[in-house]
Amino acid sequence: MSSVLKRSRHWRRTTGKNPAGGTGTALTAPQMLWLLLGIALAILPHWSNLPTWFWPVAALVLLWRLHSLEKPLPRWQVLLVTSAVLLAIGVSAGRGLNREIAITILASMAVLKTLETQRRRDAWVLITLGFFLVMTRFFYGQDMVLLPWLLLTVATLTYALLCLNQCHEPYHASRAWFAPKVLYQALRYLLLAVPVAAALFLFFPRLASPLWGSPEMFGQGKTGLGDSMSPGSIAELFMDDSPAMRVNFAGKRPDAAQLYWRGPVLESFDGTTWHAIEYSFARRPPPLVDPQAQVAYDIELEPHGQHFLPVLDYPYRVPENAFLMPDLHVQQATRVTQLKHYRAVSQTVTPLPDTLPARLAQRLVMLPRHANPKTRALIKRWQTQTPDSLALVERILTWFNQENFIYTFTPPPLKGDTVDQFLFETQSGFCEHYASAFTVMMRMAGVPARVVTGYQGGLDNGNYWLVRQSDAHAWSEIWLKGRGWLRVDPTAAVAPSRVRSGARSWMDSGRTWYDYGWLHRLQLSLDSWRYRWNRWLRDYNQETQRKLLESLGVDDDQPAGMAWLIAGAILTSGLLGLFALGWSRQKRRVPDAEKIFRQLEKQLSRLGLPRAAHEGPATYLERVARHWPKAAANARRFAREYERLRYAPDAHTLTAADKPLQRLQHAAKNLIALVRGTSMPVKGNPD
């Protein structure tokens, strides 16, 4: 019995197969290693979408399996770990199933499957889960930076798949963990799939919204402008250089000091935080004051999870399917959860005066009672000395400019009477501090005023104007009879370079280590490539596809025409792929074992025994053994060794430097020496 077990272990160790049959083929350590690497690469892009508890569990499972590549966990322990993970998923699910929970279940299945994977059939399931995980990452976005990582993941999973059939017998330990020829084959197969994928991408009918509904693509925890503002809220955005939008101007670009990108307008103040008012009706754009002052532009807006669409002050023609609200900000009915392109026209001069309803005027001077008494006393005194509203504005701005006020993105926290504390104690703040304090002071003077949030300035990045989250800004608007709404930016009185030259021009040093030199230029270069990616791929939507089909003479309303176009494109791509595959097969390198046999055959032919056209290698070498009896043993030994190496799963990975081929070469030389009638030994036996 013990001898049988020993033979079974030896067979399994040398061939990777189970002699009993029916349970699949055992995996080698290199195959398991590549499986684990593929699953890890497929999971990592989900780092911000999976629950916190998942990552330590996944790390422990994968590290343990990496430590024990050929030893799966006992079944009872797998059941125990699986039960704990299911319990954690149930707690995370809360009220019901959603996209995050579904992907957590899929990722957990992949990680837990590694605990019991030991056969090829288990590995096939694991690789399939890995490909599904790659696909689900696109549910959250299609940004260019994901592409290299996901291509690496797909290549790794494909390599692991091919290794299941081609990497069973490690003939040489130094090359057992990695087979370059298998990797080359995996990359070739992926390249052959590109034409079919391109045909499906271009011509397969696209939906107006994603197949999974209308997901909130706006990432959880991502900062951005909202419908409220409190001290420090915009200062937090100053550290965020992620793009907010990209702008293409139809004509000459206005000066940077005129680039006020209007966003949410805040009209309600509770003493600390400003809030937007929801309007249930829209208004007409203000009339055009000066035709020379109008600016047309296209905007590519990154998803921010809100309803507003930033436009240049002041909007004259709003984007399609959007509304101009009474406070002159533009919004759409749905949240901006995906990349959005729109066109607008603005005028860079103040519109003609609007009438202000009495009810709205009363709301725009409302303040919490008994709050900020020092500011009230100051404004009361100044109003007595300066009754004209415009003169009062100038006096406040001069005070900001000449006193010890500091513009900083790290202001001290404020509590209680925040305006009093800011104006008379800290005197340090960011744009929202100055806009809030100025608006409160004007309301105390009985002047209708509100806070406008959005972006100011931007950066010229070659083919487009780049506006980042760090360009977020807040300013004030006041309404004067006969003048209408006037923009007043208190920041310009404290840090004029902020408005003239951009968000970071007033700083003497960088905010972080990547604010300097080539790293900053690299960021801009990557964003330029991302802009091209968005234009050509990410923004290929239903309307773009319709225009492409029209240029090809196909009506997308005709299903038959669409079906023939798709079938023809796929068939053409498939034929090109088959042609490339056939050509590559013809150009495939002859295995070294075959080269050795051909050299032997050529020498034996010269010695008087050519190979017949119908003879295979084994039949021919048997005839050699009968023709030269003294060389019979060598001929049969060469035949056995040749067949073992020539038809092995990884025959193409062997080279002349490997010992199995050296032994085959030595056997061929010995055979020729015996056939020639010499008994001299051949030098250089690798054994």
How far apart CA 530 and CA 656 sit, in angstroms, is 47
Helices 389-402 and 431-444: angle between axes, nearest 10 degrees: 140
What counts of helices (H) and strands (E) characterise the chain? 22, 17
How far apart CA 238 and CA 460 sit, in angstroms, is 18
Residue 190 burial (C-beta neighbours within 10 Å; 0-12, 13-18, 19+): middle
Give the position of tokens 């629950």.
Answer: 51
Q: Find the catalytic residue in 46, 304, 417, 431.
A: 431
Q: Check if the beta carbon of residue 304 is closer than 8 Å to that of residue 224.
A: yes
Please state the length of the chain.
Answer: 687
The three-class DSSP label of residue 230 is coil
Residue 151: half-sphere exposure toward Cβ, Cα within 13 Å: 10
Structure tokens at 546: 């319709």
Closest by alpha carbon to 313, among 331, 295, 299? 295
Closest by alpha carbon to 461, among 168, 173, 245? 245
Dihedral (Cα; 131, 137, 143, 147), 10-degree rounding: -20
How far apart CA 242 and CA 84 sit, in angstroms, is 38
Residue 248 burial (C-beta neighbours within 10 Å; 0-12, 13-18, 19+): middle
Instruction: Verify cis geometry, omega within 30 degrees of 0, for the bond prior to 314.
Output: yes
Residue 420 burial (C-beta neighbours within 10 Å; 0-12, 13-18, 19+): buried
The amino acid sitting at 144 is M
Catalytic residue check, 431? yes
How far is CA 210 from each of CA 138, 140, 338, 421, rounded to the nearest angstrom? 11, 11, 10, 49
Closest by alpha carbon to 637, among 626, 649, 627, 622? 622
Q: Check if the beta carbon of residue 118 is closer than 8 Å to that of residue 61.
A: no
CB atoms within 10 A of CB 640: 12
How far is CA 277 from each of CA 274, 354, 360, rounded to the nearest angstrom? 10, 19, 11
Q: Find the catalytic residue in 241, 327, 489, 650.
A: 489
Q: DSSP character for 354?
A: P
Q: Check if the beta carbon of residue 298 is closer than 8 Å to that of residue 253.
A: no
Catalytic residue check, 255? no
Residues whose CB falls within 8 Å of the CB of residue 263, separated by 6 or more in sequence, listed in order? 225, 308, 310, 329, 452, 453, 454, 455
Longest dimension (CA), the chain: 128
Catalytic residue check, 167? no
How far apart CA 422 and CA 372 sit, in angstroms, is 10
Q: Find the catalytic residue in 473, 527, 556, 666.
A: 473
How far apart CA 382 and CA 396 sit, in angstroms, is 9
Q: Check if the beta carbon of residue 437 is closer than 8 Å to that of residue 422.
A: yes
The amino acid sitting at 312 is L
Active site residues: 431, 473, 489
